[in-house]
Amino acid sequence: MTVRFDGRVAIVTGAGGGLGRQHALGLAARGAKVVINDLGGTLDGNGGTPSAALVEEIRAAGGEAIASGASVTDLAAVQTMIGEAMQRWGRIDILVNNAGILRDKSFTKMDVADFRLVMDVHLMGAVHCCKAVWDIMRTQNYGRIVMTTSSSGLYGNFGQANYGAAKMALVGLMQTLSIEGAKNDIRVNCLAPTAATRMTENLMPEAVLKLLEPGAVTPGLLALVAEDAPTRAILCAGAGSFERAYVTLTEGIFVGQPSDAVDQVVERFGAISDRTAESVPESGSAQGTLEVGRAMRTLA
């Protein structure tokens, strides 16, 4: 099987460098027309000008691409970008929400304004882009969206409370959009990359960075936006490895509502935490239904 994107139109945000650049090159090499979005700028999100170099590179290799300097934080600019792509190519099939910044600090030293900015770029940036393409994808009855999450969100990392919160918020966005998009074949997934980019160059030793080519993550991204893509998956990718993360639920225990319920919860926390019969509920309400169902069965 060869994954191809002929006739497909893709938008990659934050595609000026790092992972986004590799994703855009990977999509273009397999036939997609690509919007290269990047506002340029420094790692902490300041300043910058759009870069057209990647567009030239893709065109020189026989591909089709256009540049957009829109900041994903600016809804009107995002809408203009989508409008330009529609005008040129008439459809939007793939959205890769990849743009991001860092403002790392331990929580005690973290400024609330920096927290908001990180949320704004990662979470609201993705919301703006999803919102701008959503009805187009619904009308087409076709769409593939990826949110770039992070192990920092899934599992936590010292100094990344803002970034981790924003990245986990994207998992929540994906969970619901995958449900709402299903009937129009809009598949929504998360990618949790690990790669040597300017974002990680100060965090890891040289020998480790060598193993972490950004290009090693891109096959995972391409799989998540392919014709046969899964939906609602959280795919971890780095250094040639691919794993899947899940938000799981233990079987837990039924306590009922006796006066000593709190003591039972404390005493039986081990049983509540036992992962033997873990599951992944198909939705939030399915999890609630499990609880109600057990209460009804037990009390009947």
Active-site residues, by number, are 163
14 binds ligand NAI (CB under 6 A): yes
68 binds ligand NAI (CB under 6 A): no
**Residue at shortest CB range from ligand NAI:** 18
215 binds ligand NAI (CB under 6 A): no
DSSP-derived secondary structure letter, 173: H
Query: What's the min distance (Å) between Cβ of 166 and ligand NAI?
Result: 8
Q: If 0-12 CB within 10 Å is exposed, 13-18 middle and 19+ buried, where does residue 273 land?
A: exposed
Nearer to ligand NAI, 66 or 101 (CB): 101
45 binds ligand NAI (CB under 6 A): yes
- CA pair distance 162, 133, nearest whole angstrom: 26
Q: How far is CA 154 from the centre of its chain?
A: 11
Go through the chain and tell me how many residues it has: 300
Question: According to CB under 6 A, which residues from 118 to 147 bind ligand NAI?
Answer: 121, 125
Beta-carbon contacts of 70 under 8 Å, excluding residues fewer than 6 positions away, are: 37, 39, 77, 78, 80, 81
Query: What's the min distance (Å) between Cβ of 125 and ligand NAI?
Result: 6
Query: What's the min distance (Å) between Cβ of 8 and ligand NAI?
Result: 21
| Four-residue CA torsion sign, 8, 13, 15, 21 | negative
Question: According to CB under 6 A, which residues from 195 to 214 bind ligand NAI?
Answer: 195, 197-200
159 binds ligand NAI (CB under 6 A): no
Query: What's the min distance (Å) between Cβ of 268 and ligand NAI?
Result: 36
32 close to 110: Cβ distance less than 8 angstroms:
no
78 binds ligand NAI (CB under 6 A): no
95 close to 35: Cβ distance less than 8 angstroms:
no
38 binds ligand NAI (CB under 6 A): yes
The only residue of 5, 8, 18, 127 in contact with ligand NAI, by rule CB under 6 A:
18
Residues 81-110, mask of contacts with ligand NAI (x by CB under 6 A): -----------------xxxx---------
218 binds ligand NAI (CB under 6 A): no
- CA pair distance 208, 59, nearest whole angstrom: 33
- CA pair distance 202, 104, nearest whole angstrom: 12
- CA pair distance 225, 96, nearest whole angstrom: 8
Q: Which residues bind ligand NAI (CB under 6 A)?
A: 13-14, 16-20, 37-41, 43, 45, 71-73, 98-101, 121, 125, 148, 150, 193-195, 197-200
